[in-house]
Amino acid sequence: MRPGLLIIVSSPSGGGKTTLCHRLLAWDPNIRRVITCTTRAPRPGEQDGHDYFFLTRAEFERRIAAGDFLEHAEYNGNYYGTPRRFVEEQIAAGHDVLLAIEVQGAGKVMELVRGGGFAYPENVITLFLVPPNMALLEQRLRRRAQDSEETIQKRLRIAEAELAHWREYDYAIVTGLIDHDVAHAKAILIAERCRTKRVPAGGQAWVQTELLS
């Protein structure tokens, strides 16, 4: 069994991560999305266990202490964290795993990988979605109409700081029309799946099976 990839997708809030991830999930049933945990209140329409696992601060802190998170970060006054076990189980089962997180958390995973603290260091790919300009990002945050003016302003300030990190990622896509973004993300994934370093031991047999199928 070939272990799956961990695809970390970051962008400023409103940068299009969620839409892109949904399109990739619809494209390939082998891809799984990580449902992460947060202490922020659900937005209208958001469901526990679907959009996020919504936790109290006390429960979140208990899980930090228990080592349940691959990474966690504080963003705009709330905790966000990635359940470690789900990610590792899905990769071990051969699924490619999409993880949409902000830049501090992504940086922590990159550090963990570099420091040998992640079981599949060769399987991590990082992707940054760069909005073409701040005005468009602001427009998207407003169109979402889910946040107060104060929250939108805070998110825009955070976005400026986040944008400075794009070069730390393996790939960057300057976002445009969603079909364009999806086509680029698919191309990246397809190429990464073809990397010779990812061919498992006994690779000759694997190559032949792939060629014959």
Q: Under 8 Å CB-to-CB from 5, ≥6 apart: which residues?
A: 91, 96, 97, 123, 124, 125, 189, 192, 193
Cβ proximity of 39 and 57 under 8 Å: yes
Q: Quick one: 104 or 175, whose CB is closer to ligand 5GP?
A: 104
Site string for ligand 5GP, 52-91 (x = CB under 6 A): -------------------x-x-x----xxx---------
| Segment lying near ligand 5GP (by CB under 6 A), choices 21-29, 100-108, 124-132, 173-181 | 100-108
DSSP state of 52: B
Decide if residue 175 touches ligand 5GP (CB under 6 A): no
Decide if residue 101 touches ligand 5GP (CB under 6 A): yes
Decide if residue 171 touches ligand 5GP (CB under 6 A): no
* Residue 184 C-beta: closest distance to ligand 5GP, Å: 19
Decide if residue 16 touches ligand 5GP (CB under 6 A): no
The helix (H) or strand (E) run that includes residue 109 is helix 103-114
Q: Which of 22, 23, 40, 140 binds ligand 5GP (CB under 6 A)?
A: 40
Q: Which of 17, 32, 63, 95 binds ligand 5GP (CB under 6 A)?
A: 17
Cβ proximity of 16 and 32 under 8 Å: no
Q: Quick one: 53 or 199, whose CB is closer to ligand 5GP?
A: 53
Q: How far apart are CA 69 and CA 125, in angstroms?
A: 19
Decide if residue 181 touches ligand 5GP (CB under 6 A): no
Cβ proximity of 15 and 178 under 8 Å: no
Cβ proximity of 173 and 181 under 8 Å: yes
Residue of minimal Cβ distance to ligand 5GP:
105
Residue where the block lists tokens 């709330």? 78
